Structure 1
Amino acid sequence: MNKILLDSDYYKTWKTYTNLKPKSIKTYTVALKKFEKYLAHCGYEGHLNFDNFYYYKGSNEYAPIDKEFIDEYIDYLRYEKNATKHILYDNIVYLKNFFGFLKSVNMIKSNPMAHYKNNHYERKLIDRSISLRECRKLLKAALTNDPFFRQDYTLFLLMMTTGLRNAEVRNLTLEQISFERSVIIVDKGQKNSANIVYMPTSLKNELKRYLSHPLYKEWEKNGNQLVFFKNSKMLSFEKINKLIKSISKTAGISKNVTAHTFRHTTAYLMQLGNIDISIIQKQLRHASSSTTIRYLPPIDKHNAAIDANAQSIEDDNNLE
């Protein structure tokens, strides 16, 4: 098939200068190939010009590609290719990115996707957090597993309340912790530029106790600055998740719990405390609030927790 789109300057420029990662470029290209096939299906061939897309013989005039053509393409995917709502949704997202880029670099004068609505698929919000009750069960199991040093307890409490990522926890050092400001400076093992997360008082007190323990002092005396370790070695990605799964099993939690689960749990616990989403976004260090929203559990879980707390208060009052 003649590669009208993939051989065009449009595609070559987009592929060269888009800020997408290589894996995403491949995914987008698969969708653009579908669009290319539709162009061929409609009889387009040769040099592709989105500004002079239609030609009207009667008036000898040209017109740019428009929303109606995109509508026809989406209908083609839906009715002739039996595309799912998910596929339709993604294809619109890919075309929005592609045409938006072309317009931003002035390769096209008119963007047919500029105000194109995408109502084909609503991504399902998956609740990856664990409940307040499950948090307590995990902390209790962690304390039982290590009642003297309380390393596991401190590790779990930190991940639940700060939202630090796996790599950030493993690379955490003493110099990053500011007890005076009640913050942790995140500048090691992180995805973004240096930032801070806040520590609740309970975590601050537990960290002080943990860092003054003889076992930690022995580790520090050997020149180590990492906060967490196992068997005199730095924690690995696999080891920390293995530890979480082991203690989760002991706690009787059937849900798949990983280090990343605790980031979602931090968001949930902050939401439960009626903390504004903008503050939750800062704690998790998300660039966009839309990302933070995906970390928050459905409102029914939030309401159920409130109801449970209210019931607990009522039960206490009935005992008086």
Structure 2
Amino acid sequence: MSWTSHIKQFKAYLQLERSLSPNSIEAYIQDVKKLEQFLSLRDPDKDPLSVTDTDIRDLLEYIMELEMSAYSQARIVSGIKAFFKYLLYEGDMDHDPSELIEAPKLGRKLPDTLNLEEIEQLLAAIDLSKPEGQRNRAMLETLYSSGLRVSELINLKLNSILEEINFFRVVGKGNKERLVPVGREAMKHIKLYIDHYRCHLDIKPGHESYIFLNRRGAQLTRVMIFTIIKNLATTIGMTKKISPHTFRHSFATHLIEGGADLRAVQEMLGHESITTTEIYTHLDRDYLKQVMLDHHPRS
């Protein structure tokens, strides 16, 4: 029996026998689908009855690589455990591969994640009356919209913008190039910055191609991005310790928690495969764009 059939029956069980709320049921189903998506990367024919504890541990390692919060990881483990307990209860399996899997300790320190309200508070705190305000808004919208590393952000060039398809051409670690979809808000603010602020700068020779420049017309540094974000956090009285990576972490977490395909998130982040047997598949750009539209909070 396929994943689809087992998941459908599991959903009916949660509805009829567990009497869970629709939101709780959907959370359980999404957790199981994350396991299905992950395992299909390595073996498209893998069915739920052949899942091992190693398969589940590999998924958790993968999710840890994306730095999801300990709470989110624990919830995924809970959903997967419920699914295999159901299969055991129904007699479909004679052992539970999730039995010895432990959820991460909720006290374990991981990078803070910003919720959508906090993202919007930070964006609203940017003073757009100042010349650099539009630049800062464009940069933060880009970090959250595309999940870029800070090094990738400061190295974005004008020819990186593929405006006709709303993508960036990004050069990441190991000089590897990838296409990353850009949210409409981010693209709007990038165009405003380029058309109404950047065009008035006295740009230093050698820096003409970079999108984001300082007041002296030179490429921005990593330290400057950290400082901008830190000052905004102070402005709104935020106590979380945040950095440019917080936006990348929030981007990935919000997409995954919203039900996005793990393969798509991996590709947008530019992550290497973390398991030696995984076949890394480049996904169609229209599919990546649709994932953004369907699952990103500001899309």
Tell me the TM-score normalized by structure 2.
Answer: 0.51
Runs (4+) of structure 1 exceeding 6 A deviation are 118-121
Larger Cα-atom Rg: 1
Residues 198 and 213 in structure 2, CA contact (< 8 A), matched pair in contact too: no
Cα gap change, 1:238 to 1:149, in 2 (>3 Å): closer
Q: Of 116, 138, 151, which residue of structure 1 is paired with 2:122? A: 138
Match of 1:197 in 2: 180
Shift of residue 157 of structure 1? 0.6
Shift of residue 274 of structure 1? 2.9
Identity of aligned residues (%): 24
Residues 154 and 206 in structure 1, CA contact (< 8 A), matched pair in contact too: yes
Match of 2:239 in 1: 254
Cα gap change, 1:287 to 1:192, in 2 (>3 Å): farther
Paired residue type of 1:153: R
Match of 2:286 in 1: none
Match of 1:277 in 2: 262
Paired residue type of 1:218: H
Match of 2:229 in 1: 244
Q: What CA distance in whole angstroms lies between the structure 2 residues aligned with 1:248 and 1:226?
A: 26
Match of 2:149 in 1: 165
Q: What CA distance in whole angstroms lies between the structure 2 residues aligned with 1:142 and 1:127?
A: 23
Shift of residue 289 of structure 1? 6.7
> How many residues of Structure 1 are paired with residues of Structure 2 in the alignment?
172
Q: What CA distance in whole angstroms lies between the structure 1 residues aligned with 2:129 and 2:256?
A: 29
Alignment of 1:193-232 (within 5 A): 193-213=176-196, 215-219=197-201, 224-232=208-216
Shift of residue 288 of structure 1? 3.2
Q: What CA distance in whole angstroms lies between the structure 1 residues aligned with 2:194 and 2:114?
A: 27
Cα gap change, 1:180 to 1:246, in 2 (>3 Å): same
Q: CA RMSD in A?
A: 2.9
Q: What CA distance in whole angstroms lies between the structure 1 residues aligned with 2:227 and 2:192?
A: 25
Shift of residue 218 of structure 1? 2.6
SS, match of residue 185 in structure 1:
strand
Cα gap change, 1:144 to 1:220, in 2 (>3 Å): closer
Q: Of 129, 132, 135, which residue of structure 1 is paired with 2:113? A: 129
Paired residue type of 2:259: N
Shift of residue 122 of structure 1? 5.5
Q: What CA distance in whole angstroms lies between the structure 2 residues aligned with 1:265 and 1:121?
A: 21
CA shift digits 1:122-151 (9 cap, x unpaired): 674725321111101100012457478511
Alignment of 1:1-320 (within 5 A): 124=108, 126-143=110-127, 146=130, 149-187=133-171, 190-191=173-174, 193-213=176-196, 215-219=197-201, 224-232=208-216, 233-288=218-273
Cα gap change, 1:179 to 1:194, in 2 (>3 Å): same
Tell me the TM-score normalized by structure 1.
Answer: 0.48
Q: What CA distance in whole angstroms lies between the structure 1 residues aligned with 2:129 and 2:174?
A: 32
Cα gap change, 1:246 to 1:284, in 2 (>3 Å): same
**Larger RCO (CA under 8 A, 6+ residues apart):** 2
Residues 146 and 152 in structure 1, CA contact (< 8 A), matched pair in contact too: no
Q: What CA distance in whole angstroms lies between the structure 2 residues aligned with 1:172 and 1:211?
A: 13
Q: What CA distance in whole angstroms lies between the structure 2 residues aligned with 1:238 and 1:154?
A: 17
Q: What CA distance in whole angstroms lies between the structure 2 residues aligned with 1:119 and 1:254?
A: 34
Q: Which stretches in structure 1 are left out of the alignment for 5+ residues? A: 1-117, 291-308, 310-320
CA shift digits 1:215-248 (9 cap, x unpaired): 3113376651211122222211212101110111
SS, match of residue 255 in structure 1:
coil
SS, match of residue 210 in structure 2:
coil
Residues 142 and 247 in structure 1, CA contact (< 8 A), matched pair in contact too: yes
